[in-house]
């Protein structure tokens, strides 16, 4: 095989772009939303800091955001199974735009008020919880079954580019143009995003879908509990984030290494590692053992975090954090692929709500674990000790849930049923429209 061919095999697989117009629309919509959201994400805590001068007041944002995210994330999953997902995405995106407008109006006041900032933070968390399950569950409808890993890689690549460039640009806008300018960019971003969402094809609920209810949410939880592969994806991710989420300790580690200048690099190193994996992710489309992605990625994350905590050289620390970011992305690709390949259409929204909890609550609890452990043992033991605990927890979960390790999209029962259901629906649509050509392009979904 020629060198050029080898290199081309590493490049991201763009097949979801070619096969789905809706995927392309959501890709650009997400890029615009990320950019605008990062403006507000940087400006909001800085404005609270300026108004109060209190670290506690800034930290209170986390408490304000957590409960709405949990509650509305679960309810949003039930709504995603009962309503048109396109409509749910569109309305929640418009609501987020209105909240950004409220921030802009408040910033333009002669004396900006503090309480609207917390109200907006809680509202954004609630609307994001409502919207995210609909977005996540829509992917399984608009992208062919065999392209799920490629689609997840492209979405992750989009996010990592935004995570690196967004905060830097947002910091410049806030520093040189002020909070109002940052919020104005956010409002414009959401306006463009809403316009893009109107281009999505309708995504009605499955036939016979029930109204949102606690019983329906419990049904989704029972399904997840009955599937060892799904249970393994949630458990591994929670363990990795709980034991080895290091962000709280970055300022203290930078002080101990006499490298305060590198604090910003420590926060962005993980995104750089994820980005490097993303731009060389072409090979992931040819893998069918996605449970190995989940397990190996989480183990690499823990081992790399342990290495960062153990090292006394800031260059090695940054390298380890970049490797950790790559491991986290690999695990995320595996989780997203398994979720979209195995979960039945009628439960996809409710399971997406559970997924929101699995990857959002873990980092929150991980920050508590890291801070508490550091108070007992010191910064470095809390850092490397958490990484080692992560590796041990992943190994224990593999022993308890071996089905995750052996998952194969070609032979797994649930993956086969999901693939057959989709193929049957596509054949039915092709028959109704007089041909299969353009089935994905027209936005048709199983």
Span 336-345, pLDDT tens digits: 889 888 988 8
Is residue 36's pLDDT more than 90? no
Does residue 72 contact residue 9 with C-beta atoms inside 8 Å? Answer: no
**What pLDDT score was predicted for residue 196?**
95
**What pLDDT score was predicted for residue 212?**
80
**What pLDDT score was predicted for residue 428?**
66
**What pLDDT score was predicted for residue 381?**
92
**What pLDDT score was predicted for residue 432?**
61
**What pLDDT score was predicted for residue 1?**
55
Backbone angle region of 258, left / alpha / beta, with phi > 0 → left and psi within -120 to 50 → alpha: left
The CA-based angle 72-78-83, given to 5 degrees, is 110
Tokens of 378: 């010191």
Residue with tokens 């109704």: 432
Tokens of 339: 């979720």
Closest alpha carbon to 242 in 120, 376, 358 = 358
CA distance 62 to 105: 23
3-state SS, the chain, equals CCHHHHHHHHCCCCHHHHHCHHHHHHHHHHHHHHHHHHHHHHHHHHHHHHHHCCHHHHHHHHHHHHHHHHHHHHHHHHHHHHCCHHHHHHHHHHHHHHHHHHHHHHHHCCCCCCHHHHHHHHHHHHHHHHHHHHHHHHHHHHCCHHHHHHHHHHHHHHHHHHHHHHHHHHHHHHHHHCHHHHHHHHHHHHHHHHHHHCCCCCCCCCCCCCCCCHHHHHHHHHHHHCCHHHHHHHHHHHHHHHHHCCHHHHHHHHHHCCCHHHHHHHHHHHHHHHHHHHHCHHHHHHCCCHHHHHHHHHHHHHHHHHHHHHCCCHHHHHHHHHHHHHHHHHHHHHHHHHHHHHCCHHHHHHHHHHHHHHHHHHHHHHHHHHHHHHHHHCHHHHHHHHHHHHHHHHHHHHHHCHHHHHCCCCCCHHHHHHHHHHHHHHHHHHHHHCCCCCCCCCCCCC
Does residue 140 contact residue 345 with C-beta atoms inside 8 Å? Answer: yes
Write down how long the chain is.
Answer: 446
Does residue 443 contact residue 142 with C-beta atoms inside 8 Å? Answer: yes
Range in 155-169, 176-190, 261-275, 380-394 the model is least confident about: 155-169
Range in 78-92, 273-287, 314-328, 416-430 the model is least confident about: 416-430
Span 93-131, pLDDT tens digits: 999 999 999 999 999 999 999 999 999 999 998 999 899
Backbone angles phi, psi at 53, to 5 degrees: 70, 15
Half-sphere exposure of residue 405: CA atoms within 13 angstroms, side-chain side: 11
**What pLDDT score was predicted for residue 443?**
36
Does residue 244 contact residue 390 with C-beta atoms inside 8 Å? Answer: yes
Span 51-87, pLDDT tens digits: 988 766 876 777 788 788 888 888 888 898 888 999 9
Closest alpha carbon to 284 in 9, 98, 7 = 9
Does residue 36 contact residue 189 with C-beta atoms inside 8 Å? Answer: yes
Q: What's the pTM?
A: 0.75
Is residue 148's pLDDT more than 90? no
CA distance 381 to 40: 34
Is residue 267's pLDDT more than 90? no
Q: pLDDT: is 439 or 273 the higher one?
A: 273
Closest alpha carbon to 65 in 82, 89, 78, 48 = 48
Does residue 268 contact residue 164 with C-beta atoms inside 8 Å? Answer: yes
Select, from the ranges 153-162, 287-296, 420-429, the one with the highest average predicted confidence (pLDDT). Answer: 287-296
Q: pLDDT: is 60 or 379 the higher one?
A: 379
Percent of the chain predicted with pLDDT > 90:
38
CA distance 220 to 29: 28
- Mean pLDDT computed over 366-370: 81
């Amino acid at each position: 095989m020629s060198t050029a061919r080898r290199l081309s095999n590493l490049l991201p697989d763009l097949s979801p772009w070619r096969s789905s117009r809706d995927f392309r629309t959501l890709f650009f919509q997400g890029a615009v939303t990320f950019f605008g959201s990062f403006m507000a994400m940087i400006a909001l805590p800085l404005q609270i800091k300026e108004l109060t001068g209190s670290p506690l007041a800034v930290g209170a944002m986390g408490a304000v955001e957590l409960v709405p995210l949990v509650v509305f994330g679960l309810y949003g999953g039930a709504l995603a199974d009962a309503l048109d997902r396109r409509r749910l995405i569109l309305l929640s995106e418009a609501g987020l735009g209105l909240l950004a407008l409220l921030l802009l109006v408040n910033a333009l006041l002669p004396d900006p008020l503090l309480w609207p900032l917390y109200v907006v933070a809680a509202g954004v968390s609630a609307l994001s919880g409502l919207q995210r399950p609909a977005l996540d569950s829509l992917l399984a409808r608009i992208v062919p079954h065999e392209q799920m890993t490629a689609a997840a890689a492209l979405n992750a690549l989009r996010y990592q580019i935004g995570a690196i460039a967004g905060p830097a640009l947002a910091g410049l806008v806030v520093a040189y143009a002020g909070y109002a300018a940052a919020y104005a960019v956010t409002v414009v971003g959401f306006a463009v995003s809403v316009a893009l969402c109107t281009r999505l094809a309708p995504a009605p609920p499955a036939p016979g879908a029930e109204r949102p209810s606690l019983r329906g949410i419990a049904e989704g939880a029972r399904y997840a509990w009955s599937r060892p592969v799904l249970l393994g994806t949630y458990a591994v991710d929670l363990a990795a984030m709980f034991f080895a989420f290091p962000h709280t300790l970055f300022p203290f580690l930078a002080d101990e290494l006499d490298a305060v200048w590198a604090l910003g690099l420590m926060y962005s190193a993980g995104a750089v590692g994820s980005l490097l994996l993303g731009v060389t992710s072409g090979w992931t489309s040819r893998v069918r053992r996605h449970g190995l992605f989940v397990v190996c990625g989480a183990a690499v994350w823990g081992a790399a975090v342990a290495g960062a905590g153990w090292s006394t050289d800031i260059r090695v620390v940054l390298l380890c954090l970049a490797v950790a970011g790559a491991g986290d992305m690999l695990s995320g690709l595996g989780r997203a692929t398994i979720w979209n390949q195995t979960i039945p259409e009628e439960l996809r929204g409710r399971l997406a709500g559970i997924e929101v909890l699995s990857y959002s609550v873990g980092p929150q609890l991980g920050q508590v674990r890291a801070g508490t452990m550091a108070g007992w043992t010191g910064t470095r033991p809390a850092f490397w000790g958490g990484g080692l605990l992560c590796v041990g927890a992943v190994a224990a979960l593999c022993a308890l849930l071996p089905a995750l390790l052996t998952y194969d999209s070609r032979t797994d029962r649930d993956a086969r049923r999901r693939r057959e259901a989709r193929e049957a629906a596509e054949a039915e649509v092709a028959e109704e429209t007089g041909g299969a050509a353009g089935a994905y392009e027209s936005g048709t979904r199983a």
